[in-house]
Chain A
Amino acid sequence: MRLPIQPVFLWTDILIDLLVVCTVIFIVYGIRKGHFRAIVRQIGKRPMAVVAFILLLCYLFVGLLDSFHFRLQLPSDQPGKETQEYGPDVLSALDFLVTPLRTHVEKTYSAPLAKVGYTKETVEDKAGVKHRIYPPLLYPGGHILGTDKVGNDVLYLSLKAIRTGLVVGSLTTLMMLPFAVLLGISAGYFKGWVDDLIAYVYTTLSSVPGVLLIAATVLMLQMYMDTHAGDFNSSAERADVRLFFLCLILGATGWIGLCRLLRGETLKISTLEYVEAARALGVGHCQIIFRHILPNVMHIILISAVLDFSGLVLAEAVLSYVGIGVDPSMISWGNMINSARLEMAREPIVWWSLTAAFVMMVGLVLSVNILSDAVRDALDPRLKER
């Protein structure tokens, strides 16, 4: 008996699964030790933060559904016999759940909930007389947010774009955290030439304007992928590899801020009495770092991870507009905005795809920002004193 589906693991899927496992472990650990009580209390105090939290959970739910990819088994051409073939399209669980949205494709633009097409067409009636009318849609009233240039449902596109936004925001953080934490803490703890070297590396990297470094790297990557086009099995895989590298590059430019903060904080902490006491007792460097320093800079790591997230989601849209973001074939808010931008000049204007992309983006970024405010107020001891 063969499975009716064949799971497909894209690179970013695997990393997302890893991230989910890490987060769950972190949360369980935190709840056991009672670290999250302050955060939960802060969020509970603010109705707006509660709403933001629920909204964020919805986004996460859609994003996770969209991160499980598979190929469907093809329908058998001989009844009673199972085929061994799987379809060529890589679908996600979300695609499967919203199949009507995905498959109800119109010819071109249509306004939200419209019953007729966007442009007039010449249609022949039964008697053979030509009329110039708005042609009825294939699925009248079926597109809550209208359709885009090639007739795809805008609601479907906006839902699919959630995963891209979340991946850019979260995977980048996942990739930069180890660097930032390791380098920042060792620079502050070991001082001397280690500190000099690490400070040199991050000063050099941060001197290059971020956008230009990203542009240069993405251009190089694109060139590499063009010359090695044979290495990729499907366009989805190709787009996924590009997304992965985009996260990597954003991470390479993004770790510097946190690294600097951690270096400063570790410099302060490593002169405190309890660290000196540990050193006097003969505790090793590793143990001092993991037992005494890391837990005391955890709040900085958490705050900056949440703060960076929203910036990254916004950056994705801008980078995609510039042409150095995600693959043009990948559905993302940046690509939606980019393709809809020129349609503002049309009459009547095509406003729905732009609006949908902006509203979805604001929903995610605003809820993360509101939550991050609550988290910061809960964890930053300096703010507590006031």
Chain B
Amino acid sequence: MLNAVGRDIPEEVVKNTNKEIFKGVHYYDGYTYEKKGPKTKCVNRSGGDKLVDSIRDVLFKCGIKDGMTLSFHHHFRDGDYIVNMVMKEVHTLGIKDITICASSLGKAHDLLCDYIEDGTITDIQSSGVRGRVGQAISRGKLKGYAIMRSHGGRVRAIESGEVKIDIAFIGAPTCDDYGNCRGIGGVSNCGVLSYSMVDADYADKVVAITDCLVPFPNFPAHISMTKVDYVVEVDEIGNPEKIATGAAKPTTDMRKLMMADYCTQFVINTPYFKDGFSYQTGVGGASIASTISLAKVMKERDIRMGFGVGGLTKPMCDLLINGQVDCLLDTQDFDLDAVKSVENMKHFRISASEYANPFNKGAIVNKLDFVILATLEVDVNFNCNVVVGSDGVITGAQGGHPDTAAGAKCTVVLTPLLQGRTPAVCNEVTTVTTPGESIDVVITEYGIAINPARQDLIDCMKDVKLPFMTIEELRDIAYSIAGEPQKVAFDERVVGIIEGRDGTIMDVVRQVKI
């Protein structure tokens, strides 16, 4: 069955998942549905606490059994200890057929490969997967499908009841004995707990795991005790050096600086660049450089940003310190400066639902003027791939890519024309993760292509001296240098599903041929 981005989705997959194929970015606008709530066990006894001695004990208290869905969040990034800590105990108990529902999985979770092999884990739902787990999935080791959802799509799936979380595990940098969690104040600070907020709201059982137990009340709580069943204190919830590092040194790579310069010139020549504009950017070198160069122009022209969203890093937080943005809305912090900035009164923590859920009554991404994104591949139809590498192996994550692209008035994708020896601009992406209808402009070091669907932006740029060309011309340059890449050889078996943010099937990922 061909979907709206021209991908042939096998009927068997549609049948097995009971999902629709992707029909367009705003296909579900105006859709009405009923949210599904969690089972909640009341606590109204006087005093007491929610402390449990160990992960093992808390698993028993939560009634762990075969076939359950366990959820995790990824604010600790490559420094996360929580997933492995829990799954080791689950494995030791001989539990099977577990579905992992994580906001993302990375290299910190290579251990899960063993549990995929022995059937402890049979299904994975995540924004994406990096490291050995991605390889294991692409090699067909996982029994079920790996479902890759955007940050907004994950919240939608949970709130709509498509996913039922049995036990949510929340790594809490600080927590009191009654379950009030905060992302700051301990040794493993991650700043915010945005991705886990929906888990706390909708899971039947919620377990807070902390390495910094603090006196009650740990207020203002980022996740309230009203949603937490149990608290477990452990030695370490993560490696602070890998959770939030010092701010990255601004890039000196001329290609990235060129892309950043082009990006800034493009942004400031759109009608959206005016007092009060809104902006989100990623954490790549070119994205960060574009924020830095945009800040200079804002200063020169005395233009203030209304709000910035993210995924935050130092350059965005510097805008707040320098009075160049009214406020920051924060879902995740990538460096220590961003973690520290959470204490600023104008630095607001938001939930992943507020950020990007397409099935709530309006998310922040809908109010974005600009989003600056990266991609692994972009094709001549402006479709982007941010999950599957040029070798066909799952190696990235959707994150908020499709969410922000769908919501922003101007979606800019920055990519070097060649990723190593592989053209990043190509005839057809290996896997579609963000539909081309959401992408407005592609900026490379060689030139800039505006989506022909955005004639308004093309008109704005008529007198702007930037190297504009068509996306086909960009592809031709890439192919003239590196040649047209051969298609990756896949087996027939579908191992992963790229889910659109509305729950439809955007694409499938097949097992790689070895």
- A and B pair up: no
